Structure 1
């Protein structure tokens, strides 16, 4: 009887040790999985949700996340207004889900900031551009590799070359 109790106790200890090892492995795999999730993947999973995007350290773009790509976020700030926010300008986001969306289709994955800005240029839409600490209003005339040309429409005749590096948001509507 004594031997059987000893063996039963040893088996219970081994089972508990195996369970602890499995739990540790699961926790490590979960941490590794979370470490591979990109902000763009979380944003894609959050499409349709209300979000707040902190841009430039002080401005907040708030509304429904309409679309997201690796380089930009599109937020509906009202029924007719949209804000295109470069991911590099987003200091912080509130309202994202914790999980990731599946990888985007090949075409969507290649849609960079320049592609979205060229669509606005084609539409000849009047936009408000927030770059660094400046607010400019005009039409996007051209989009280069790292900048856009914005022709002012408020009575001035200037055309601003705005670098993507300083771009905080482009608002329409």
Structure 2
């Protein structure tokens, strides 16, 4: 040795390239990388779990009132309309713009736009109607009732009218009112043009 300096030997190269003990650098680095991978896996799992509520909320955000009404089946539901009236019955049919409720005797056509509250619904939702179902607007339902020529009672935001439905336009229906009293000979019955937007319920007579 010269000046107390340690001589460099081949054995030093061999020793430096060999695996170190449990607490050596090589093992520590492996542990560090293994820990890093574990953290990444844990983070991915946490993100996935965190995303579950978001997916659930996104699914719930697609649920419509019409879908829940369809899922009600034969159970009785109660709809509150703008006039404050409560309309109850089982769901007979549902479209985007209306719902038909009924019991063993009567039927009630309720425009979706007039509903301010509903109770008796399950959390479940039935699949939405197809294109044809979506095209069956309130006018289609009113035309069906007009063809039936049956007596109806129409609840509007301004009061009630009784009579039969006649001509149905694009945004209104003519209602031939029941006379309040005897009419003079040759006097025509009163006809009201009722806007769709004013109708709360159409009850069967």
Question: How does the TM-score come out when normalised to structure 1?
Answer: 0.87
**Aligned equivalent of 1:53:** 79
1:130 to 125, 150, 155: 155
Q: Which has the higher contact order (CA 8 A, sep 6+)?
A: 1
Q: Does 1:111 align with 2:136?
A: yes
Specify every segment of 5 or more residues in structure 2 that has no aligned partner in the other structure, as ranges.
Answer: 1-21, 182-188
Deviation at 1:109, TM superposition (A): 2.0
Q: Kindly indicate whether residue 48 of structure 2 is the aligned counterpart of residue 22 of structure 1.
A: yes
Aligned to 2:3: none
1:58 CA drift (Å)? 1.6
Shift of 1:8: 7.6
After superposition, what is the alpha-carbon deviation per residue over 1:14-72, rounded to whole angstroms, capped at 9, x for unaligned?
Answer: 54433321111111111112112222222222232211101015211011111100000
Deviations 1:146-167 (A, max 9, x none): 1111111244521111111110
Give the one of 117, 139, 152 matched to 2:164: 139
Task: Please provide the CA RMSD for this pair.
Answer: 2.2
Q: Which has the larger radius of gyration?
A: 2
Query: What does residue range 71-110 of structure 1 map to in structure 2 within 5 Å?
Result: 71-76=97-102, 78-110=103-135
Q: Give, in whole Å, the separation in 1 of the partners of 2:108 and 2:179.
A: 20
Aligned mates of 1:44, 1:166 — CA distance in 2: 24
Q: Which moved more, 1:4-13 or 1:65-74?
A: 4-13
How many residue pairs were aligned?
172
The gaps in structure 1 that reach 5 residues or longer are: none
Give 1:152's match in structure 2, choosing from 159, 177, 184: 177
Contact 2:152 2:162 in 1 (8 A): yes
SS at match of 1:47: coil
Looking at structure 2, the residues matched to 10 and 108 of structure 1 have their Cα atoms a distance apart, in angstroms, of 55
- Equivalent position to 2:201, from 166, 169, 172: 169
